[in-house]
Protein backbone atom coordinates (compact mmCIF):
# COMPACT_ATOMS: atom_id res chain seq x y z
CA UNK A 1 0.00 0.00 0.00
CA UNK A 2 2.82 2.38 0.91
CA UNK A 3 4.41 2.26 -2.53
CA UNK A 4 1.05 2.65 -4.26
CA UNK A 5 0.74 6.00 -2.48
CA UNK A 6 4.26 6.98 -3.51
CA UNK A 7 3.42 5.88 -7.05
CA UNK A 8 0.35 8.12 -7.01
CA UNK A 9 2.49 11.07 -5.89
CA UNK A 10 5.00 10.41 -8.67
CA UNK A 11 2.21 10.18 -11.28
CA UNK A 12 0.76 13.49 -10.05
CA UNK A 13 4.24 15.02 -10.30
CA UNK A 14 4.70 13.65 -13.81
CA UNK A 15 1.34 14.91 -15.06
CA UNK A 16 1.92 18.35 -13.52
CA UNK A 17 5.42 18.50 -15.02
CA UNK A 18 4.07 17.58 -18.47
CA UNK A 19 1.40 20.29 -18.21
CA UNK A 20 4.00 22.85 -17.12
CA UNK A 21 6.39 21.89 -19.91
CA UNK A 22 3.60 21.96 -22.49
CA UNK A 23 2.75 25.46 -21.25
CA UNK A 24 6.18 26.61 -22.35
CA UNK A 25 5.36 25.24 -25.81
CA UNK A 26 1.66 26.09 -26.14
CA UNK A 27 0.85 28.76 -23.55
CA UNK A 28 -1.84 26.79 -21.63
CA UNK A 29 -1.47 29.03 -18.57
CA UNK A 30 -2.84 32.57 -18.56
CA UNK A 31 -0.14 35.02 -19.70
CA UNK A 32 1.19 37.16 -16.86
CA UNK A 33 -0.46 35.05 -14.15
CA UNK A 34 0.58 32.28 -11.74
CA UNK A 35 2.26 29.51 -13.71
CA UNK A 36 3.37 31.80 -16.50
CA UNK A 37 5.02 34.24 -14.08
CA UNK A 38 6.75 31.47 -12.13
CA UNK A 39 7.94 29.51 -15.16
CA UNK A 40 9.13 32.54 -17.10
CA UNK A 41 11.07 33.87 -14.11
CA UNK A 42 14.84 33.43 -13.84
CA UNK A 43 14.06 30.53 -11.45
CA UNK A 44 12.05 28.64 -14.10
CA UNK A 45 15.19 27.04 -15.50
CA UNK A 46 18.22 25.35 -13.98
CA UNK A 47 21.37 25.22 -16.11
CA UNK A 48 19.30 26.49 -19.03
CA UNK A 49 16.81 23.60 -18.85
CA UNK A 50 13.18 24.03 -17.81
CA UNK A 51 12.55 22.73 -14.29
CA UNK A 52 9.43 21.00 -15.61
CA UNK A 53 11.57 19.00 -18.04
CA UNK A 54 13.69 17.83 -15.11
CA UNK A 55 10.44 16.88 -13.40
CA UNK A 56 9.31 14.79 -16.37
CA UNK A 57 12.52 12.76 -16.36
CA UNK A 58 12.80 12.43 -12.58
CA UNK A 59 9.17 11.47 -11.99
CA UNK A 60 9.26 9.01 -14.91
CA UNK A 61 12.34 7.38 -13.42
CA UNK A 62 10.73 7.25 -9.98
CA UNK A 63 7.58 5.65 -11.40
CA UNK A 64 9.66 2.95 -13.09
CA UNK A 65 11.75 2.43 -9.94
CA UNK A 66 8.61 2.18 -7.77
CA UNK A 67 7.00 -0.34 -10.13
CA UNK A 68 10.21 -2.36 -10.03
CA UNK A 69 10.25 -2.21 -6.24
CA UNK A 70 6.60 -3.25 -6.00
CA UNK A 71 7.26 -6.32 -8.16
CA UNK A 72 10.57 -7.27 -6.54
CA UNK A 73 11.18 -5.41 -3.26
CA UNK A 74 14.73 -4.92 -2.07
CA UNK A 75 16.62 -2.56 0.21
CA UNK A 76 18.42 -0.74 -2.62
CA UNK A 77 15.28 0.39 -4.44
CA UNK A 78 13.53 1.18 -1.16
CA UNK A 79 16.45 3.35 -0.09
CA UNK A 80 16.59 5.05 -3.51
CA UNK A 81 12.88 5.88 -3.34
CA UNK A 82 13.19 7.26 0.19
CA UNK A 83 16.24 9.35 -0.71
CA UNK A 84 14.43 10.70 -3.78
CA UNK A 85 11.45 11.70 -1.63
CA UNK A 86 13.72 13.44 0.87
CA UNK A 87 15.67 15.29 -1.84
CA UNK A 88 12.49 16.10 -3.76
CA UNK A 89 10.91 17.50 -0.61
CA UNK A 90 13.94 19.71 0.07
CA UNK A 91 13.72 21.05 -3.49
CA UNK A 92 9.94 21.49 -3.07
CA UNK A 93 10.50 23.63 0.03
CA UNK A 94 12.99 25.75 -1.91
CA UNK A 95 10.54 26.18 -4.81
CA UNK A 96 7.73 27.07 -2.41
CA UNK A 97 9.99 29.68 -0.82
CA UNK A 98 10.79 31.12 -4.26
CA UNK A 99 7.12 31.32 -5.23
CA UNK A 100 5.93 32.85 -1.97
CA UNK A 101 8.75 35.25 -1.08
CA UNK A 102 10.90 35.93 -4.16
CA UNK A 103 8.68 35.65 -7.25
CA UNK A 104 5.50 36.46 -5.28
CA UNK A 105 3.34 34.41 -7.62
CA UNK A 106 1.81 30.97 -7.18
CA UNK A 107 1.80 28.30 -9.87
CA UNK A 108 -0.98 25.82 -9.13
CA UNK A 109 0.74 22.97 -10.96
CA UNK A 110 4.04 23.68 -9.18
CA UNK A 111 2.15 23.83 -5.90
CA UNK A 112 0.57 20.46 -6.63
CA UNK A 113 3.99 18.87 -7.17
CA UNK A 114 5.53 20.53 -4.11
CA UNK A 115 2.70 19.71 -1.71
CA UNK A 116 2.48 16.13 -3.01
CA UNK A 117 6.16 15.59 -2.30
CA UNK A 118 5.82 17.05 1.19
CA UNK A 119 2.80 14.83 1.90
CA UNK A 120 4.76 11.78 0.73
CA UNK A 121 7.64 12.81 3.03
CA UNK A 122 5.26 13.06 5.97
CA UNK A 123 3.74 9.71 5.05
CA UNK A 124 7.20 8.15 4.79
CA UNK A 125 8.20 9.42 8.25
CA UNK A 126 4.86 8.32 9.69
CA UNK A 127 5.42 4.79 8.39
CA UNK A 128 8.94 4.71 9.81
CA UNK A 129 7.46 5.35 13.25
CA UNK A 130 4.78 2.65 12.93
Evaluate if residue 24 carries a pLDDT over 70. no
**Rounded mean pLDDT, 46-63:** 94
CATH number of the domain that residue 88 is part of: 1.20.1440.130
- Packing angle of the helix pair 2-26, 51-71 (nearest 10 deg): 150
Q: Which parts of the chain are beta strand (E)?
A: 45-46, 49-50
Query: 56-90: per-residue pLDDT in tens?
Result: 999 999 999 999 999 999 999 999 999 999 999 99
Query: 93-110: per-residue pLDDT in tens?
Result: 999 999 999 999 999 889
Evaluate if residue 12 carries a pLDDT over 90. yes
What is the spatial distance between Cα 102 and Cα 29, in angstroms, rounded to a whole number? Answer: 20
pLDDT at residue number 48? 94
CA atoms within 13 A on the CB side of 30: 7
pLDDT at residue number 22? 86
Look up the domain containing 7 and give its range.
2-129
- Count of structural domains within the chain: 1
Amino acid sequence: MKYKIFLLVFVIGLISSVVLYSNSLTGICDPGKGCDVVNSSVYGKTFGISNSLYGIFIFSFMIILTFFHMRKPNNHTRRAIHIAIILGSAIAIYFLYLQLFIIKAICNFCLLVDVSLLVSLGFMFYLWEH
